[in-house]
């Protein structure tokens, strides 16, 4: 083979290597991009863990991957998440986080819903942006939340099912619209009683206790 033929062959080979090297880089870039998209789709929206419930204001959330001490106060949609819940987060507006729901939580049971305990003694949900009256049991711990109005003070707001009741009467301090604090009783028969305060605004949050104890 003549020297000129060898030179042409080297140039062709170099061109082929260059083209395939660039194609390989592009292919790797495409693969990495698709992998990132798949991972985002598989993982779903960003997640975080609720570290403070902050009744009366926004709950605090530590986004997964962030260090302690940088917890964010985040608005939420629907029922208030509680400490220990893992939540879905969407970024809206100018980078503002919004809690859209919880992951694998024990669901809240809303008072007044079909097949749930009914409101009693003229009590109703306060409405608007206030949390709906609801309860749930996580392990042995019963949690009650919500804001109600219009019922009879000293009378039951609703009655907990048997498996959600304490073994004895319990007393909690809560908020009402007239006095700084009011008294909320959860009795052994399941009655959740607005013992003192005003019926213009009455908070059931946060009443937590161990069922059967």
135-165 confidence digits (pLDDT tens):
988 777 888 999 999 999 999 999 999 999 9
Per-residue pLDDT at 138: 75
Per-residue pLDDT at 160: 97
Position 211 pLDDT exceeds 70: yes
Reported confidence tier of residue 207, pLDDT bands at 50, 70, 90: confident
What are the CA-CA distances from residue 150 to residues 33, 41, 93, 125 (Å)? 57, 46, 36, 9
Which SS3 state, helix, strand or coil, does residue 174 take?
A: strand
Per-residue pLDDT at 133: 96
Whole-number average pLDDT of the chain: 76
Position 181 pLDDT exceeds 60: yes
Mean pLDDT in residue range 160-186: 89
What is the share, in percent, of the chain residues with pLDDT greater than 70?
61
Q: Which long-range contacts (CB under 8 A, 24 or more apart) does 94-97 make?
A: 97/46, 97/61, 97/63, 97/72
Contact 60, 52 (CB under 8 A): yes
Radius of gyration of the chain (CA): 29
Query: Among the listed ranges 30-34, 39-43, 65-69, 156-160, which one has the minimum average pLDDT value?
Result: 39-43
Of 178, 180, 173, nearest in space to 206 by CA: 173
**Unique residue bearing structure tokens 């083209």:** 19
Mean pLDDT in residue range 171-200: 90
Contact 50, 81 (CB under 8 A): yes
Tell me what percent of the chain is helix, strand and coil, each rounded to the nearest 5: 20, 35, 45
47-103 is a CATH 2.40.50 domain:
yes
Q: Where is pLDDT greater, at 5 or 40?
A: 5
Query: Among the listed ranges 42-56, 57-71, 110-124, 183-197, which one has the minimum average pLDDT value?
Result: 42-56
Q: Where is pLDDT greater, at 9 or 212?
A: 212
Reported confidence tier of residue 37, pLDDT bands at 50, 70, 90: very low
Q: What is the pLDDT of residues 54-111, one digit of tens each?
A: 655 677 777 776 666 667 777 766 666 767 677 767 766 666 777 666 666 678 899 9
Mean pLDDT in residue range 2-17: 54
Q: Which CATH number fits domain 109-210: 3.40.50, 2.30.30, 1.10.8, 2.60.40?
A: 2.60.40
Mean pLDDT in residue range 30-48: 50
Position 6 pLDDT exceeds 60: no
d(CA 156, CA 35): 56
Burial of 153 per CB tally in 10 Å (0-12, 13-18, 19+): middle
**Unique residue bearing structure tokens 């140039």:** 11
């Amino acid at each position: 083979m003549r020297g000129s033929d060898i030179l042409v062959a080297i140039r062709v080979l170099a061109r082929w290597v260059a083209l395939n090297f660039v194609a390989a880089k592009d292919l790797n870039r495409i693969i990495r991009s698709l992998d990132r998209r798949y991972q985002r789709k598989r993982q779903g929206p960003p997640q975080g863990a609720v570290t403070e419930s902050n009744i009366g204001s926004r709950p605090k959330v530590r986004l997964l991957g962030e260090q302690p001490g940088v917890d964010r106060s985040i608005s939420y949609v629907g029922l208030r998440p509680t400490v220990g819940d893992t939540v879905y987060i969407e970024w809206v507006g100018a980078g503002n986080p919004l809690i859209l729901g919880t992951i694998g939580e024990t669901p809240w049971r809303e008072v007044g819903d079909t097949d749930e305990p009914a409101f009693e003694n003229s009590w109703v949900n306060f409405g608007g942006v206030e949390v709906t009256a609801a309860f749930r049991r996580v392990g042995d711990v019963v949690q009650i939340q919500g804001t109600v109005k219009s019922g009879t003070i000293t009378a039951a707001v609703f009655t907990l099912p048997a498996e959600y009741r304490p073994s004895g009467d319990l007393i909690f301090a809560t908020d009402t619209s007239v006095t700084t604090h009011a008294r909320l009783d959860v009795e052994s028969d399941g009655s959740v009683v607005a013992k003192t305060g005003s019926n213009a605004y009455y908070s059931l949050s946060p009443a937590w206790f161990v069922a059967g104890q």
